[in-house]
A and B are shown apart, each in its own frame.
Chain A
């Protein structure tokens, strides 16, 4: 055995030493003499795996001119071929990495200063027909810049790779990849497929442009860009309303993407599903570069029907050896440490095709150890081989020439000794018929007991070790340790102090293997005399490669796999139950008020009857709620929980095209915590960094469901607007404040401009529809514009506005603006000076959703008062109380109670402010918000008066499914402690636990606030203040 370290040096040596074999190029002029070396080779006596599952024993592979000529199952060697004896060796098809940046130039890395050190860049430099966003490089055909790179190829070749699909891994649309052989030849000869898939990711990469700075922004940009590409196909060369349609190479190249497909990199299971959603809107076939988190949402991943490319960067275990280290360790990470190596096996068991990539490994040498780990975790070897050959060949579009060994295929293959998937060694890698030797085909094996006669004396060499040999010379009773032992592939040299043939002193000995068990040697005595001898191995000698094959161990997991796969996750969605709740104090939040000693019958997920002394229908679960209070589930008009990677697409002043619905995060533990506070529904709002922000998403807090299952489809679309200090960037240093608007005056005009543009956009759409065929031939169709389309939905009263607002002038402004454009402003959120213009709001028909008692954290809330909700209600404004906080969202009941404290609101009315009233503001009150026959059975059981300090949630139900239960929570805590201890024990018992990727886990999300301005791709905040909202 030769260590990988040494392998690597060897490989360098071999690559350098190899002559550039007869270049197949037809166009290069010959300098000097023609090279007509023969490339006709027969590899005989080999085990040949022609493709996964097809194995030929004792066969001969014949290659010529860089291709496979034939495979002789009868092991016959053709006349004239150079013969290589591969007895004891296996030939695999060469491996293909479908996701690589080999052979293409690296992106220019921009140096970024600290926060607030560079001016924001809103538009990019236009050159060469590029896209309007610097994260889009789709015009790049990476074949144009591809070149062999023997240094970079080493990492691949040493693992057995012979070809890669390659592009520069930078940005959102990264350009079209090229599939290349790793042979050290001119580019013209190594191109296997000139235009492969488009590569992509959500990460804007080196782009310095502001937009997008959030995940939802990236998704919106993908949507608009793919739409633009479709438009461009029809529009280029025609006249648009404001001039000729521009030349745009980036869009032109995306035209045929429905045929070319994408290879899209994601960072977790959730983003995989997101990418699938947006790309399938445009029928773009996609393969994902996965994260090894796919096992956590296997069914959903399977449903995408996509193939995957899997990195093998399994995470290093968290540090847990110190007595308090576990304080910093999350159960979810321990679980992932245990299960990530089993991801491939899980995907295979679910019949999902995947390939492996070297990408993301911290060092290439980890590839095989980690792949073997995946096999130990239950991955079938044929599937593993397919993941290195046939599957990546399909993904890279080279199935007709690579990934198998068959006549006409490229002579790209791997020669190995032993089973690579347990513990074999790669001896050589053949690229287009040329060998790169990594280790000698045969290496002498000295281990064992070798008996010899030396100077007529019977001696024994007791040797052990493979790469490093040690041992002793045994002569009868005496023995002597070998010194200065060195070896190369076939010779062992050492010195031994011995008395032989009467000569005592240091003997120099050389040993060579003559046959499997036969050795010949030379010994030089202390007197300088040379003795030749021979020896026979009588014991040992099995080579490590064949002897020590590690069988696929039966991996058992101590971690649970829950939905979501974090602490407090569930085994699955709770079952829907038919219920008879007995003898409760029922707060209906409806005309019926508060009902004492009342029963509720819940049938088929809905409230069915509410009354006293009701009979229990057969088969119904009875809940004795004596002494308890039942209220509708709490609804939060303003929440930022369960949002992944950015709450603000705060880059541009209007971003109505971005959708919170694209980035719902079902794994957020705040969903569970909010359930434990009685909250069942929340409107997830975009932040307040720009006047017209993103589209909102109403969810039911169905902990354990997927993001899509959480969305409450019956809720009509809504959107976040924002006014005041945040949108005018009050906390930016003045020299960075270049974005329009910087005043409340400008906010008004910007919104007016947006709506006006939307109306004019509609006029163009309508005008185009009326054009005759001949006119259309000359006229470009209007470019579909998601941003303006969303504004039209508002004007059409199909999408409802929730406007972050504080001071009376801005509230009034927006009322009048809405009236100018003939729509009703649905809800002002925060609205702390709502009490100053309550009658104006009521007259307009706008609702108000207030903080209960927040104030003083910034200048625009200096006039906020805790009587705001009372005054608004009294003036006829539909009023609710919201949280805008992960913490407050779980105690909105006592927040509502503050209107009782400060201004004597009726208690039942106060409860409505967190149930029925927000339901009305979200326009879902026909389904939820009160306890009324026919409405969804979303309710909370409290142990006390629900507005009291002393109230605690006992149970929370959504659609008659029990998502929180205080008793079960206690049980979960105990299970969690036990599971965590078991995982800690497992880490502590594993000597290799610290090996692996130290960045192998999902990163914790910031707690989003309205004004969290964060560039999720650059990892920096641009603005954030404590207590700001």
Chain B
């Protein structure tokens, strides 16, 4: 916050907000037993009237009438819903504070090919936005640099840290590429002819291919000890060639997705498709090719004039029906708090409730390689747990009372509550 205030003050006007006193949760001190909750385990269905015990930040037992360990804190959660923490993919949380104030923007590096930048490096754990996101049950977020072609590397952070280091769940998960444009834009502002557009599209596509060739050449030379020197760009992409890093391909149009399938197969990349507005047009193919899809438009207008009014809403159901392995994201920063409701909206348009919940918990954990410890309520996994008085996915249900991240109780207070409580007192 301090950093922010300085920046804003320098840029525009002084801002008088008391430094906030929302302190990251302390490590779990004693066993905590949740009794008689409705457990949405994700991995093992919904278990009514069930207990959950966590110790030292880990879930140690799930069952009916668990014995109360010595020294344990017991929480009666009868009638309440217990979920794993929500994992938000494809966000700029902590990189942006006020979108239109440039001094508060740290998401978009200069240059077309910038794989060397990492999302967590500029992450501001004191962003006023973060506590408002947690308030709606989001415990983790993937922080993704924005930009042109290759935008940088993302990291998975938990949202209750002092610094990006103690918040880091998995740093530099993978490299992000915005797939070059395809097709012909007929919007009023497009001045280029179809031929010019095709040429530009093809050039961008060539540039992307050249980038992979250069990165691979660097990788090969490095293996053979033949490098002239260090190139941070290609260093950042080494993991793509030994399988230790994932390529996140941001592509919405069917033609982009087809190209991406082709190219990633050629290179043998471990990859995840992000955005994927047109995924419904090719759901069978995505299922057959085992492509992991992070669908990014759970709210939104149809992509094209002639598409059905509810296309964006009903795409998750179409993916599920075809057997696509998918998660749901709601890209952005301050509005990421609506991710659970976005998943709920997909239910209105045909998606199974359990799958909707998995799409914002276990599936993101799997896609980011942390499903061994996150994404579901299972013994042995992190005690990243939220307790809601009602349905997490529904605005008339959701009422989050407690959030634990790795057993640490998170302060759900935030700027909005503070202002609310302050102005409740104004005469």
* Interface set of A (CB-CB < 8 Å, partner B): 319, 324-325, 327-328, 330-332, 566-568, 669-670, 672-673, 676-677, 725, 730-731, 835-836, 838-839, 853-859, 862-863, 865-867, 871, 886-887, 890-891, 894, 897-898, 900-903, 907, 944-945, 947-952, 969, 973, 976, 980, 1001, 1003-1006, 1019, 1021, 1025-1028
Contact = CB atoms under 8 A, between A and B. Distances in A.
Contact of B183 (A328, A865, A894): A328
Nearest to A1016: B188
Contacts of A1005: 188
B243 interface: no
Contact of A886 (B12, B301, B393): B301
Contacts of A1026: 99
Interface in B70-101: 96-101
Interface in B40-79: none
B416 A866 contact: yes
| Among B101, B253, B349, B394, residue most surrounded by chain A Cβ atoms (within 10 Å) | B394
B254 A327 contact: yes
B199 interface: no
B305 A863 contact: no
Contacts of A901: 395-396, 398-399
| Among A730, A945, A949, A952, residue most surrounded by chain B Cβ atoms (within 10 Å) | A949
Contacts of B424: 871
Shortest 7 CB-CB distances between A and B: which pairs? A949-B344, A1003-B188, A897-B395, A858-B100, A856-B334, A865-B416, A867-B420
Nearest to B184: A328
Contacts of B172: none
Contacts of A947: 395-396
A859 B98 contact: yes
A853 B338 contact: yes
Interface of A is mostly: loop
A566 B345 CA distance: 27
Given A862-B98, A948-B394, A1006 B189 contact: yes
Nearest to B414: A865
A1004 B334 CA distance: 30
A45 to B, nearest CB: 52
A568 B305 CA distance: 10
B71 to A, nearest CB: 36
Contact of B309 (A324, A672, A1027): A672
A1004 B98 contact: no
Contacts of B309: 568, 672-673, 676-677, 890, 969
Interface string B163-184: 0000000000000000000011
A731 B415 CA distance: 26
B101 to A, nearest CB: 5
Contacts of B415: 865
Given A856-B334, A857-B334, A890-B309, A863 B419 contact: yes
23 contacts: A319-B194, A324-B254, A327-B183, A331-B305, A331-B306, A835-B419, A856-B334, A857-B99, A859-B98, A862-B128, A865-B415, A865-B420, A871-B423, A894-B345, A894-B395, A900-B396, A948-B344, A948-B348, A949-B345, A950-B348, A973-B308, A1004-B187, A1021-B189
A952 B99 contact: no
B147 to A, nearest CB: 15
Nearest to A901: B395
Interface in B397-422: 397-399, 415-416, 419-420
Nearest to A566: B305
A71 B41 CA distance: 98
Nearest to B255: A324
A855 B348 CA distance: 26
B123 interface: no
B358 to A, nearest CB: 16
B393 A949 contact: yes
Nearest to B12: A859
A324 B183 contact: yes
Contacts of B2: none
A831 to B, nearest CB: 14
B341 interface: yes
Nearest to A730: B100
A327 B255 contact: yes
B416 A907 contact: no
B260 to A, nearest CB: 14
B394 A950 contact: yes
Nearest to B346: A949
A949 B394 contact: yes
Contacts of A871: 420, 423-424
B301 A887 contact: yes
Given A856-B99, A856-B128, 20 more contacts: A319-B194, A324-B255, A328-B185, A330-B186, A725-B100, A853-B335, A865-B420, A867-B420, A871-B420, A871-B423, A887-B300, A897-B395, A898-B395, A900-B396, A901-B395, A903-B420, A950-B347, A976-B306, A1021-B189, A1028-B99
A859 B101 contact: yes
Contact of B341 (A328, A887, A894, A1004): A894
B304 A327 contact: yes
Nearest to B395: A897
Contacts of B393: 949
Contacts of B341: 894, 949
| Among A725, A891, A950, residue most surrounded by chain B Cβ atoms (within 10 Å) | A950
B304 A330 contact: yes
A1012 to B, nearest CB: 12
A670 B394 CA distance: 25
B330 interface: no
A859 B184 contact: no
A203 to B, nearest CB: 14
A865 B97 CA distance: 15
B188 A1006 contact: yes
B183 A891 contact: no
B333 interface: yes
A673 B395 contact: no
Nearest to A855: B334
Contact of B349 (A319, A330, A952, A1006): A952
Contacts of A566: 305
B348 A952 contact: yes
A1007 B98 CA distance: 22
B129 interface: yes
A944 B348 contact: yes
Interface string B91-135: 000001111110000000000000000000000000011000000
A839 B194 contact: no
Nearest to A1020: B189
A183 B357 CA distance: 79
Nearest to A945: B396
A839 B427 CA distance: 8
A373 to B, nearest CB: 24
Nearest to B97: A856
B299 interface: yes
B305 A669 contact: yes
A536 to B, nearest CB: 55
A676 B394 CA distance: 20
A663 B423 CA distance: 41
Given A871-B420, A1006-B188, A857 B345 contact: no
Interface in B326-342: 333-335, 337-338, 341
Contact of A567 (B12, B101, B305, B345): B305
Nearest to B306: A567
Contacts of B398: 901
A898 B419 CA distance: 17
B370 interface: no
B107 to A, nearest CB: 12
A644 to B, nearest CB: 12
A701 to B, nearest CB: 13
A949 B187 CA distance: 33
Contacts of B261: none
Contacts of B335: 853-854
B97 to A, nearest CB: 7
B347 A856 contact: no
Contacts of A853: 335, 337-338
